[in-house]
Amino acid sequence: MLAILFLCLVIYISAYVCLKASGQSLDVRKFQTFEDYFIGSNGKVR
């Protein structure tokens, strides 16, 4: 059990470091509708 928690912690920290290093936003945007899951190739919701 301790190994699973340690693995989760390592994954979380590495994801955080990668996002910070790439300069991407850490903001989470809530999905309002089911349509929000489908993003077009131009980055806009279809």
Residues of the chain above pLDDT 90, percent:
28
The ranges assigned to domains in the chain are 2-37
pLDDT digits (tens, 9 = 90+) for 26-38: 777 777 777 766 7
**Which 3 state secondary structure label does DSSP give 45?**
strand
Please give the model's pTM, rounded to 2 decimal places.
Answer: 0.52
**Which 3 state secondary structure label does DSSP give 27?**
coil
Residue 43, Cα to own-chain centre: how many angstroms?
16
Q: What number of residues does the chain have? A: 46
| Residue predicted with more confidence, 44 or 10 | 10
The pLDDT of 2-28, averaged and rounded, is 88
Specify the pLDDT at position 2: 93
**Which of the four pLDDT bands, split at 50, 70 and 90, describes residue 14?**
very high
